[in-house]
Amino acid sequence: MNKSNYAWLMTESKPAHRWLFLSIMVGILSGIVIIIQSKLLSTIIDQVYLHHATLHTLSLLLIGFCLLIFLRVGFSALREIISFNSAKTIKTNLREKCFAHLMTLAPNQLSALKTGELTSTLIEQIEALHGFFADYFPQMVITVVLPLIILITVFTQNWLAGLLLLITAPLIPLFMALIGMGTAKLNQDNFEALSRMSAYFLDLLQGLTTLSLFNQARAQFNTIQTISNDYREKTMRILRIAFLSTATLELFSTISIAIIAVYLGLGLLGFLKIGFSGVHITLAQALFILLLAPEFFMPLRQLGTFYHARAEAIGAATEIINILKTNSNTKKPSSPVLFSEKNILINMEEVDFAYSDNKKILDHFSLTAPQGSCIAITGPSGVGKSTLLQLIAKFIYPQSGAIFANGINIMDIDDDSWREHITLLHQQIRLFHGSIFDNITLANLNASKNEVELAAQLAGVLDFTQHLPQKLNTPIGEQNSGLSGGQAQRVALARIILKDTPIVLLDEPTSHLDNANASIILNLLGTWRGKKTVIIATHDQKIVEMVDHVYELKLLGEKN
């Protein structure tokens, strides 16, 4: 799992390869500047201490030293910017990919995903990849190249010091790997806990009124507490490992540097001759090596601090891959038909549909609806009326049989192009945060103010907005808050009128409206008669009396 996640992260880095390369180059250049700077510093100290050089003779070296400081600052700022951009490119790309993938899923597949989890994945978990691409990935390459350059430099000064570095260096990654092995799994658990928590919070917030009504709000506190505690413990476990690995790193690099320092000291005092090819070590040389020794371990130590970013990314990858793996439950046509006809004959032929294997909703169901016809679908609750409308809207797909529009299977028609021809008034109305006006114009963003007002009037929206201080600009909250069920339904109806499509699907349009207001629907049916094809799922006797044709659905027995 970890390996494949890692491989996946590597493939996802492709769009930012140029940035990543730049970031690595700048990192290495900045390392080389440190080597030159150390050389300068050791020479300066040697000159001052042993050769009593004056400020005047050293001025060139000092200026060079200062310039290098600025260069390093510039490089680190540059690297910061480049790294940020590379991670941003990858994250944006990935988010677009996830959204594009979600759009290929059928709407009912989408609604089966938990909103809280989905949001957590798209926002937090993709964000969690930032450190991996911005820091860990470039540092990984730098950690291989830069110590090598330093090692070669040290070898040119003194082979034994070089050898000491060479021997101690591999111990660090070894210990790090041992410690790090468990972290990826822990991080994955952590993200699962976070997703679960997000999903739960969202559900709870959305259902708070209902829960309070049943006196259950308090009881939920305990569940939240358990979930949060679980999350806290998992996070602490990861932190413990992160601290432990940093401590290990520090310990090993400090020991190595100390050994080298002791060796150099003994060499300077003349107690040790090995490694100096018979010559006494100079102060400049010893200082240069001593300054380079910590720099040799620096990239590794930095990699160590970024190690959790790697584990975090590998953990987060699982959920993202899961979203991208959710297969669309249908094959999309390779070249979808763009549909642009005004006169549409709908033919459902022998359609079979079931949500699960053991319960068929539609069994060889056929229906014909010529343009301008008005059709009612009746039957007891749960029989499949809403399902039938969703099939026509292409929110779900038949298992066998087909729905044709002027002889073209709607499965072959481009989704957007098909939905330009139909509107569906859902049984559960969903309005969005914004004004009533905004919610209506959603149907046709090019509509003029007059057109919106006309639609609002026909749908009976003006009847209640005229008593409100802000009229049509009255804001509504999420989940229709601020409106009654009937009012929300009228707003949705105005939306449908404004969209003005040849086919209109209405799912129990009078269920929220009282008798007086049901006449709004009846009037609309009157004006649409002969022009629009209207298919209505309904129990309402008045509607049934008005339509051209009634299809009565019957409950099919459950298969065991």
Ligand X SMILES: Nc1ncnc2c1ncn2[C@@H]1O[C@H](COP(=O)(O)OP(=O)(O)O)[C@@H](O)[C@H]1O
Stretch of residues binding ligand X (CB under 6 A), selected from 23-31, 124-132, 143-151, 379-387? 379-387
Kindly tell me which of 156 and 357 has the beta carbon lying closer to ligand X.
Answer: 357
Task: Give residues 427-486 in contact with Mg ion (rule: CB under 5 A).
Answer: 427
Select from 20, 87, 165, 383 the one that contacts ligand X (CB under 6 A): 383
Burial pattern 24-53, b for ≥16 Cβ within 10 A else e, equals bbbbbbbbebbbebbbbbbbbebbeeeeee
Of 513, 558, 192, 526, residue with least CA distance to 357: 558
Reference 401, options 440, 448, 364, 433; nearest CA is 364
Q: Residue 209: how many CA atoms within 13 Å on its side-chain side?
A: 3
Which residue lies nearer to Mg ion by CB, 139 or 386?
386
Element (H, E) at 404: strand 400-405
- Binding to ligand X (CB under 6 A) within 479-538 occurs at 537
CA-to-CA separations, 458 to 11, 461, 523, 525, in angstroms, rounded: 55, 8, 9, 11
Q: Rank residues 361 and 497 by Cβ distance to ligand X and give the closer one.
A: 361
Q: How far is C-alpha 116 from the chain's CA centre? A: 12
The reply on whether position 386 binds Mg ion by CB under 5 A is yes
Label residues 55-75 b or e (16+ Cβ within 10 Å = b). Answer: eeebeebeeebeebeeebeeb
| Choice between 14 and 554, CB closer to ligand X | 554
| CB proximity list for 283: less than 8 A, separation 6 or greater | 42, 45, 46, 49, 50, 268
Identify the residue among 157, 256, 387, 489 touching ligand X (CB under 6 A): 387
Q: Is 385 in the site for ligand X (CB under 6 A)?
A: yes
Q: Which of 108, 246, 305, 519 binds ligand X (CB under 6 A)?
A: 108
Q: Taking a C-beta distance cutoff of 8 angstroms, is the pair 473, 518 a contact?
A: no
Which of Mg ion, ligand X, none is residue 382 near (CB under 5 to 8 Å by kind)? Answer: ligand X
Choose the contact partner of 384 out of Mg ion, ligand X, none; CB within 5 to 8 A by kind. Answer: ligand X
Q: Which stretch binds Mg ion (CB under 5 A): 34-42, 419-427, 451-459, 465-473?
A: 419-427
The CB-of-370 to ligand X minimum distance in angstroms stands at 24
CB of 540 to ligand X, least distance (A): 14
By the 8 A CB rule, do 277 and 285 touch?
A: no
* Residue 164 to residue 38: CA distance in whole angstroms: 19
Closer by beta carbon to Mg ion, 378 or else 465: 378
- CB 357 → Mg ion: shortest distance, Å? 22
**What character string, x for contact with Mg ion (CB under 5 A) and - otherwise, covers 270-309?**
----------------------------------------
Q: Which is nearer to ligand X, 111 or 466 (CB)?
A: 111
Tell me how far, at minimum, the Cβ of 509 lies from ligand X, in Å: 13
Q: Give the binding range for ligand X (CB under 6 A) out of 169-177, 319-327, 380-388, 460-468.
A: 380-388
Say whether residue 386 binds ligand X (CB under 6 A). yes
Residue 134 or 377 having the CB closest to ligand X: 377
Q: How far is the CB of 521 from ligand X (least distance, A)?
A: 17
Q: Which of residues 13-32 bind Mg ion (CB under 5 A)?
A: none
Out of Mg ion, ligand X, none, which partner does residue 383 contact, by CB within 5 to 8 A per kind?
A: ligand X
> Which own/partner contact pairs does 201-209 have at CB distance under 8 Å and 24+ positions apart?
201/116, 202/114, 202/115, 202/116, 202/119, 203/114, 203/116, 206/479
Taking CB under 6 A as the rule, which mask of x and - marks residues 110-129 in contact with ligand X? --------------------
Cα torsion 20, 24, 30, 31 to 10°: value is: 160
Please report the DSSP string for 21-61 in residue order.
HHHHHHHHHHHHHHHHHHHHHHHHHHHHHHH---HHHHHHH
Helix or strand (DSSP H, E) at 425: strand 422-425
CA nearest 323: which of 133, 105, 87?
A: 105
Which residue number, 42 or 387, has a Cβ lying nearer to ligand X? 387
The residue ranges that bind ligand X (CB under 6 A) are 108, 355, 361, 379, 381-387, 537
The residue ranges that bind Mg ion (CB under 5 A) are 385-386, 427
